[in-house]
């Protein structure tokens, strides 16, 4: 018959082995999570950089273009019944494409494109744009 000390020692060894396996798995999951978070942070940074470059390009084009404006002060567009695409921060390239199509169809002047687009930003995109405009205004 096994002695009580031997049984206790075997039980402790088994518990130590399982604890080591559990700790190893926890570390593995932590590593995977950190990698995932880093990937998401890089994607967000790339998106912010892309949006910044696009806005800077539009602003540069706007400052170079002659704004023919609307002498009557009418704020309605020729195609005002067509909805301008809303932007919440997802699918930047798709949204920019839709905006360009709208601008072309509605003959929006370069000087009005950024303001038109900004009025249709919501959620995270609007918060980001407001912050960007504050930073950009302080550089001028």
Q: Are the C-beta atoms of 113 and 58 separated by less than 8 Å?
A: yes
pLDDT band at 21 (very low <50, low <70, confident <90, very high): very high
Q: Tens digits of per-residue pLDDT, 84-101?
A: 788 777 888 888 888 888
Residue 21 domain-assigned (yes or no):
yes
pLDDT at position 63, please? Answer: 60
Q: What is the sign of the dihedral through the CA atoms of 98, 102, 104 and 110?
A: negative
**pLDDT over 90 (residue 34):** yes
Instruction: Count Cβ atoms below 10 Å from residue 118 Cβ, excluding itself.
Output: 16
Q: Are the C-beta atoms of 99 and 70 separated by less than 8 Å?
A: no
| Percent of the chain clearing pLDDT 70 (strictly above) | 81
Residue 3 domain-assigned (yes or no):
no
Cα of 41 vs its chain's centroid, Å: 10
Residue 39 domain-assigned (yes or no):
yes
Start-to-end C-alpha separation, the chain: 88
Domain housing 25: 10-67+78-139
Residue 4 domain-assigned (yes or no):
no
pLDDT at position 62, please? Answer: 61
DSSP 10-30: HHHHHHHHHHHHHHHHHHHHH
Residue 87 domain-assigned (yes or no):
yes
Contacts 24+ apart (CB under 8 A), 57-61: 58/110, 58/113, 58/114, 58/117, 59/114, 59/136, 61/110, 61/113
Residue 96 domain-assigned (yes or no):
yes
Residue 73 domain-assigned (yes or no):
no
Number of domain units in the chain: 1
**pLDDT over 60 (residue 65):** no
In this prediction the pTM is 0.40
Residue 5 domain-assigned (yes or no):
no
What does the pLDDT average to over 56-74? 56
């Amino acid at each position: 018959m096994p002695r009580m000390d031997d049984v206790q020692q075997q039980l402790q060894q088994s518990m130590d082995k399982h604890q080591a396996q559990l700790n190893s798995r926890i570390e593995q999951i932590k590593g995977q999570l950190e990698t995932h978070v880093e990937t998401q942070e890089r994607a967000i940074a790339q998106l912010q950089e892309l949006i910044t470059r696009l806005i800077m390009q539009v602003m540069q084009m706007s400052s170079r273009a002659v704004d023919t404006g609307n002498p009557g002060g009418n704020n309605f567009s020729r195609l005002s019944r067509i909805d301008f695409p809303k932007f919440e921060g997802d699918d930047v390239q798709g949204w920019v494409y839709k905006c360009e199509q709208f601008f072309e169809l509605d003959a929006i002047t370069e000087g009005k494109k950024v303001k038109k687009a900004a009025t249709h930003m919501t959620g995270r995109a609007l918060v980001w744009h407001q912050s960007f405009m504050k930073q950009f205004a302080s550089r001028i």
